Amino acid sequence: MQTAKQKLKRAAPWLFLLLVLAGLAAVRGLAANYEIGYEIMNGDFQNYNPVRHLLAGQVPYRDFTVYLGAGELYSVGGLLLVLGNSFGRSMFATNFCTWFYFELLVLAVCLVVIGTARAARAAALALCSVFFAYVQGANLPFAGQVNTLLSYAAANGNSARMMRSAALTLAVLVILLGLHFWQQDTSRRLLAPAVLVPFAAGFFVPWSNDMGGAAYISIALGYGLYLIRLYRSSIGKIVVQTLRYIVTSVVGLGVSVLLISWGHPLAWLRQTRGTSAYQTWYYGNTLSDRVCGVADLHWPGAAVFCLAAALAFGIGIFVCRSKRSAVLAAGGFALTLGMVLWNLLYGMVSASNNGPTGGAAALAAVLAPACIIKAVLLVCQKVSFPQVAARIVPAGCAVLGAAVLAVGMAGQVQTRIGGHEGYTFVPELGGWIGDQAEKLATEKELTAGKRLFGTYSSALEAMTGQLQPTGTDYIIHALGDRQRLAYLQTFQQGDFDIVVTPSPKVAPPERWSRNANWWFYRELYRYWQPVANTFQSGGMHLFWERTGTDNNLNVETTTAATLQGDGTVLVTVTAADADFCGVADVTLHYGLVSSDSMDHPFDRQFLHVTCVTENELCAAAERDTNQGDFYLPTDRDSYEVPITISNGVGQILLTAKSGSGTVYPQINAVEVNATYQDWEYFFE
């Protein structure tokens, strides 16, 4: 038995490592926290909004949407619980977690590649210090290439992808740590491989549904290969262990879901199912990047490199001499395959090539130097490298880490001593902000004492202490029929004074949001109207008030659907008044006709809408075109869409895409339900 002093001595190097890594992450957080300017759509509030609900005591999944997964929610929420709840501190927390989880990935890679704890610690500390210097802007060799690979680690972004990827890293580290303690004392049955590995794999699935699924599969495959090595031709034992794995992992998933949802697993399940049901067709406005099948997926060089590494680790599971080395190889297999699977599964679920390729890129950036370090260590063993040098190198890495941390901290101190010239401190947000401060002051004055309903909740709600009434802060996260119905009913039945929407004039993606979310905006256009134009309202949003009447203009219209020579269908709405400019609320009755009579169960079909008239208006105004284009679901036969009308005529173009054969859109009927003032194109 080890004494307390011996345990502390063994733990001290690990504590020092974690302290330095946390310090480096804190510098990254402080750098991001210096100025807290934000995007009004898809910005940092996408990371912060769910945490506001959590810290207000609301129940995750039941009371509010957890779109980025439980990992981001509880990581940032836990830090803000300690640091204090404000948007400024959330900028620190998200960037701290982003870099710290990347550092844990570095540590995990060093452990599975290098093998020995002492060397892995030293390598992790050195690599993290060097990578930190790169992202801080140091003029080092290959800076452009390295910083490209580290894009996910360098900034949290609006989707917190580095944090989401940590499901895989943490699962592997927890398994390795648990197995280490089990090896020290085999009486700890809960840490036995047959329990620990599947439980951890299942437990981390809700961390982020996309990466959680990829992590589960990769860990399961790595464990399966290890079982084959362990039991060889004993099929019966392998089957028994596999069944035990499945049952235990389901238990782990159940425990995790109960914890993160505060005892509301059905709420978690409904939200997860809704997201997966809409993810395939809803997002995006271009047809070219749609993935109809696996063959359409792009394979970046980093993903291919990681896949090759996974193959090498898989072989290593069988050729390693010791069980310990085989376990480390299985961990490496899970890490490398998991990052590739993350991109693959995301691409298939979202039917897009805009997947999380940066995960594999970050892993490749770490894996390559880690393998070089391992090769150098093997050479040193062959040539009887002096033992004194073996002690000096880890100490040198520790000094390097401490020195880089000191320089980073000094830089932050110097920056803050220099003040915040040109910025304004906004106490309600807990940070310094640029020209947005004046705009926010105008918005706050306009909405003083008013109850808000924002389609993209952000600073204004945070400043006034309000939460989005539906619990879905971004309308783009209202995914699934049930969730959309709940969102719409809350809006219809609520006693709101002001509706806040991003201005399409300063946030072009709002054009897509209006069209893709016409199920909501048709209600907004019917009973509400803007108080003033964008720049009279602060320059970022439109503020809507009730009119107290039905805004339907009842303009007489006719419709036509014309099949074009290229297989597309042009839908035209013509107003009786040739001078009418507005928007028609239209119900399309449609279907898809395929030239291939065979059934292709793994093929996907898409129906894309090009907003012809909107794009013509944007081109004439020298604004970006195609920003308002959107998709229709192909699993139903009718859908409501807006068609902007200019000088009496409005048009949209329907284009179908399929991975097998040729598919054409078929319009069965076009119904105009109402006509309204088009606030996006004929107001400002």
CATH classification of the domain holding 605: 2.60.120
The residue length of the chain stands at: 684
What tens digit of pLDDT does each residue of 400-444 get?
A: 999 999 999 999 999 989 888 889 999 999 999 998 999 999 999
Instruction: Give pTM, 2 decimals.
Output: 0.93
Q: Render pLDDT for 33-45 as a digit per residue (tens, 0 to 9).
A: 999 998 888 889 9
Band of residue 605 on the pLDDT scale cut at 50, 70, 90 = confident
Asked if 67 contacts 82 with a C-beta cutoff of 8 angstroms, the reply is no
| Claim to verify: residue 118 and residue 242 sit in the same structural domain | yes
Average pLDDT (577-596) is 92
Residues 292 and 176 in one domain: yes
Taking only the tens place, the pLDDT of each residue in 335-373 is 999 999 998 888 887 777 777 788 999 999 999 999 999
Residue 591 and residue 495 share a domain: no
Average confidence (pLDDT) over 126-137: 96
Q: Is residue 337 part of a domain?
A: yes
Is residue 296 scored above 80 in pLDDT? no
Supply the pLDDT for residue 233. 79
In a domain, 74, yes or no: yes
Phi and psi at residue 114, in whole multiples of 5°?
-85, -40
Confidence of residue 388 (pLDDT cuts 50, 70, 90): low
Residues 60-67 have a mean pLDDT of 95
Task: Give the domain-ending residue among 516, 546, 576.
Answer: 546
pLDDT at 251 over 80: yes
- At 597, the pLDDT band (50, 70, 90 cuts) reads low
47 located within any domain: no
DSSP state of 625: S
Q: Report yes or no on 603 lying in a domain.
A: yes
Coil, strand, or helix at residue 560?
Answer: strand
Average of per-residue pLDDT across 107-123 = 94
- Interatomic CA distance for residues 269 and 206, integer angstroms: 10
- Same domain for 497 and 607, yes or no, is no
The single residue listed with the structure tokens 């362990």 is: 230
Per the domain annotation, does 142 fall within a domain?
yes
Q: Is 57 contained in some domain? A: no
Does residue 510 sit in the same domain as residue 606? no
Mean pLDDT of 465-489: 94
Indicate the pLDDT class of residue 601, thresholds 50, 70 and 90: low
Q: Please tell me whether residues 74 and 141 are part of one structural domain.
A: yes
Which pLDDT band holds residue 293 (cuts at 50, 70, 90)? confident
pLDDT of amino acid 209: 83
Of the residues 546, 572, 588, the one at which a domain ends: 546
Rounded to 5°, angle at Cα 310 from 308 and 312: 70
Provide the b/e sequence for 239-278 (b: ≥16 CB within 10 Å).
Answer: eebeeebeebbeebbeebbeebbbebbebbebbbebbebb
Question: Is the model more confident about 677 or about 605?
Answer: 677
Tell me the mean pLDDT in the region 483-508.
94
**572: CB partners within 8 A, 6+ apart:** 559, 560, 561, 562, 649, 650, 651
CB 20 within 8 A of CB 400: no
Q: What is the mean pLDDT of residues 468-496?
A: 94
Statement: residue 600 has pLDDT above 70: no
Q: Within this chain, do residues 448 and 581 fall inside the same structural domain, yes or no?
A: no
Least confident of 380-389, 528-537, 673-682: 380-389
pLDDT value for 75: 97
Tens-place pLDDT, residues 161-216: 999 999 999 999 999 999 888 887 777 776 788 899 999 999 999 999 889 999 99
What is the Cα–Cα distance from 651 to 613, expressed in whole angstroms? 5
CA 423 to chain centre: 30
pLDDT on residue 347: 82
- pLDDT surpasses 90 at 126: yes
Whether 563 and 538 share a structural domain: no
Phi, psi of 541 (to 5 degrees): -130, 165
575 lies in the same domain as 657: yes
Number of domains observed in the structure of the chain: 3
Q: Give the per-residue pLDDT at 2.
A: 66
540 and 576 inside one domain: no
3-state secondary structure of 346: helix
| Confidence tier at 98 by pLDDT (50, 70, 90) | very high
∠ CA 150-132-381, nearest 5°, is 95
Using pLDDT thresholds of 50, 70 and 90, give the confidence band for residue 602.
low
* Containing structural domain, residue 169: 9-38+69-404
On the question of pLDDT at 152 being above 80, the answer is yes
Assess whether pLDDT exceeds 60 at residue 381. yes
Over residues 651-673, mean pLDDT: 90
More confident call, 350 vs 329: 329
Residue 60, in any domain of the structure: no
Mean pLDDT of 255-261: 97
627/539 same-domain check: no
- Residue where a domain terminates, one of 491, 521, 546: 546
Sort strands 569-575 and 541-546 into parallel, antiparallel or unpaired. Answer: unpaired
- In which band, very low, low, confident or very high, does the pLDDT at 249 lie, cut at 50, 70 and 90? very high
Which of these, 135, 302, 137, 105, lies nearest to 215 by C-alpha position? 105
The verdict on residue 48 lying in a domain is: no
Q: How does the average pLDDT of the chain come out, rounded?
A: 91
Q: Is 1 helix (H, G, I), strand (E, B) or coil?
A: coil
In whole angstroms, what is the distance from residue 527 CA to residue 676 CA?
A: 10
Radius of gyration for the chain, computed over Cα atoms and rounded to the nearest angstrom: 28
Same domain, yes or no: 137 and 107? yes
557 forms beta bridges with 575
